Structure 1
Amino acid sequence: MSRRLRRLPVLLLPIVLGASLVACGSDSGSDGSDSDSSSGDALHGITITGDVGKAPKVDWNGKLDVSKTDSEVVTKGDGDKIAEGDQVVTHIWIGNGATQKQAYSTYDEGQTQTIPASSDLNPVFKDAVLDQTVGSRVAVTATAADAFGESGNPDMGIGNKDSVLIIVDLIDSTKVLDAPQGKEQPAPSWAPGLTTDGDKVTGLDFSKAPKPNGKLLSAALIEGDGDVVKKGQTITVNYLGQVYKGAKPFDESYSKSPASFAIGAGAVIPGWDKTLVGAKVGSRMILAIPPAEGYGDQGNAQAGIKGTDTLYFVVDILAAS
């Protein structure tokens, strides 16, 4: 299940989630300016203009020649400071410093990208997000190898010997709960029991649960006291999934870190889209998902799920934006 919980395009995964890359540390540039343009030392004479939230205009100063990662705040926002664990709504622009051409832009895609603010982010990207303020535009210059790894990013037209300019607009941020927050509710008769360790769910107990009835079912075990989740939002959750009578979970996030993904947009199995839209932030949901609303007749062999298996999930909704 976790492999379907990534909303970021494949093109952006290495630069944002590059924990596995052997990347150099980042040397921060200036600590910010209230100006709407910049051509400071970190940018090697490059000038960036335009309003945050709109596609930037970049005037290159010839070929970008860099040997290390550097960052500079082009426009300093007056919003909240972004802290570890926040869910951050961004626009991202990437240019090839060798060709002085745009390589990628979320503005062209017509949608923002939501990422987790974490010290585990690729060092090239981390300084553009953590401890910055909402409303800011931050620029990063780096080698392609530091940004994407030894192969560069051929899909973006960026070779491994090229340099890159990355512009990150910090549009909004949402605090992520540590655990469900709300009022406990009686468990429905169809639901399995929960095995827990503090706030973490470690498994499901089907010893007293009836056989699945083939219907898509959902209920709040904890009714959250936050906002209602809307279609198209990005939600951050902890979850555990187990097939009916399964001996152990086939996937879970409680022992790792919460997952973020678009909801109601086809990014996850239909049963999640249909049950989590309309739930409240802070809720702990229990779901029973028949094959037709899960992985269909083909199942998911990699996860050990057969085409006849009913899936049960516990989902803690920790944030939505």
Structure 2
Amino acid sequence: MSRVRSAALSGVLALSLLGLAACGSDSSDSDEGGASLSSVTIEGEHGKAPEVTFDGRLDGTKTETEVLIEGDGEEVAEGDTVEAQWWIGNGFTEEETQSTWGEDGKGEPQSLEVGDEVLPFLAETMVGNNVGDRVVLMTPSDEAFGEGGGAQFNLGNRDAALIVVDILGRKDTVPALDGPQGEEKTPAKWAPTLIEQDGVITGLDFTDAREPSGNLLATTLIKGDGAVVKTGQTLTVDYLGQVYDADAPFDESYSKEPAEFPIGTGSVIKGWDERLVGRTVGSRVILEIPPADGYGEEGNEAAGIKGTDTLYFVIDILGAS
């Protein structure tokens, strides 16, 4: 069943939030009246850009909120740091005005602390809802963004703002590990050997590794002694990726900062979603990922990955929140 709430929470407008505000416009205020939230069709999976279809101008005087997809994660409270993505539309012009997914649907999730310093619509759609929820809010522009703030999103003060928010993860205050921590294990014979320099992983050696099997495989080098990774959490990891039998990695974080991303939500390649959920913090694993569970037939031209390449990753799970 869906949950419905009304009345937007107040908050301090922060137009510089995450650098996502669009250029302002002279969008005119709408007349009173118009359709309700039920007139809008919103399709798509949680974590993916929504497909929004309007059926007439929305009422710019009322506030309606509904949870379209219910998650089973932890409840979000004020002061929590949350990973989320959102889509904003103008209920008067019936047009998209801003989306964290971007035009190609591949934009990165945003991390923010839910409180007075964020745009009011973020608190309204997150506080009291759960990780994994997709929440839709219809509300007057000035309640969503603060007085005059809607102009930054091409909405007049009395235009209805339509906002879809996906709550992807909540970050706890437990600090990430500096490296893998747990019980050492003997890796499977198919796995490549780690190449290290001064204790830092710099590549994978396929000399004694088996040729790709065409299956999605994982083997544990260190079984972490931390918490179990759950769908919807935000992982902190160090990683290195290399195409089978290549001389050098196509990407790595060991020489930089650890990476953070939601897991199990479609924000990363399928092989990571399927093989990292259920493991424990502190683990070091090696993944063998066939094209179907990686970048598909198109590959990843920017990384030099062809649609036929099998990918290998060594991944250190340093934190999950």
Name the TM tier (shorter chain): 0.5 to 0.7
Whole-Å separation in 1 of the counterparts to 2:176 and 2:154: 32
AA aligned to 1:294 is G
Whole-Å separation in 2 of the counterparts to 1:112 and 1:232: 7
CA deviation after TM superposition for structure 1 residue 104, in Å: 4.7
Tell me if the contact between 1:191 and 1:209 (Cα under 8 Å) persists in the aligned partners. Answer: yes
Tell me if the contact between 1:220 and 1:286 (Cα under 8 Å) persists in the aligned partners. Answer: yes
CA deviation after TM superposition for structure 1 residue 171, in Å: 7.6
Which residue of 91, 115, 140 corresponds with 2:114?
Answer: 91
Residue aligning to 1:312: 312
Whole-Å separation in 2 of the counterparts to 1:171 and 1:233: 8
AA aligned to 2:234 is T
Change (3 A) 1:262 1:191: same
Question: Deviation above 3 Å: which 4+ runs of structure 1?
Answer: 11-15, 92-95, 109-113, 153-157
The 5-angstrom pairing of residues 49-60 of structure 1 reads 53-54=77-78
1:294 paired with 2:317, answer no
Listed one character per residue, the Cα deviations across residues 144-183 of structure 1 (whole Å, up to 9, x for unaligned) are 9xxxxxxxx94487xxxxxxxxxxxx98412110000011
Which residue of 109, 114, 122 corresponds with 1:105?
Answer: 122
- Equivalent residue pairs, number: 189
Change (3 A) 1:92 1:219: farther
Tell me if the contact between 2:78 and 2:115 (Cα under 8 Å) persists in the aligned partners. Answer: no
Listed one character per residue, the Cα deviations across residues 199-229 of structure 1 (whole Å, up to 9, x for unaligned) are 4211000111111010000011011011110
Residue aligning to 2:217: 217
Whole-Å separation in 2 of the counterparts to 1:231 and 1:192: 28
Residue aligning to 2:245: 245
Whole-Å separation in 2 of the counterparts to 1:171 and 1:205: 35
Identity of aligned residues (%): 52
Change (3 A) 1:104 1:275: same
Residue aligning to 2:275: 275
Change (3 A) 1:156 1:245: farther
Whole-Å separation in 2 of the counterparts to 1:222 and 1:271: 19
Residue aligning to 1:24: none
Whole-Å separation in 1 of the counterparts to 2:279 and 2:194: 20
CA deviation after TM superposition for structure 1 residue 54, in Å: 4.4
Which TM-score applies when normalising by structure 2? 0.53
CA deviation after TM superposition for structure 1 residue 105, in Å: 1.4
1:174 alignment partner, SS class: coil
Whole-Å separation in 2 of the counterparts to 1:229 and 1:248: 29
Whole-Å separation in 2 of the counterparts to 1:301 and 1:217: 24
CA deviation after TM superposition for structure 1 residue 108, in Å: 1.8
AA aligned to 2:113 is T
CA deviation after TM superposition for structure 1 residue 13, in Å: 3.9
CA deviation after TM superposition for structure 1 residue 290, in Å: 0.3
CA deviation after TM superposition for structure 1 residue 107, in Å: 4.0
Tell me if the contact between 1:218 and 1:285 (Cα under 8 Å) persists in the aligned partners. Answer: yes
Whole-Å separation in 2 of the counterparts to 1:188 and 1:290: 17
Whole-Å separation in 2 of the counterparts to 1:188 and 1:204: 15
2:317 alignment partner, SS class: strand
Tell me if the contact between 1:104 and 1:156 (Cα under 8 Å) persists in the aligned partners. Answer: no
1:274 alignment partner, SS class: helix
Whole-Å separation in 2 of the counterparts to 1:315 and 1:296: 21
CA deviation after TM superposition for structure 1 residue 197, in Å: 2.8
Residue aligning to 2:181: 181
Listed one character per residue, the Cα deviations across residues 226-259 of structure 1 (whole Å, up to 9, x for unaligned) are 1110111111000000000111111111111011
Which TM-score applies when normalising by structure 1? 0.53
Tell me if the contact between 1:91 and 1:171 (Cα under 8 Å) persists in the aligned partners. Answer: no
Change (3 A) 1:204 1:173: same
Whole-Å separation in 2 of the counterparts to 1:156 and 1:284: 47
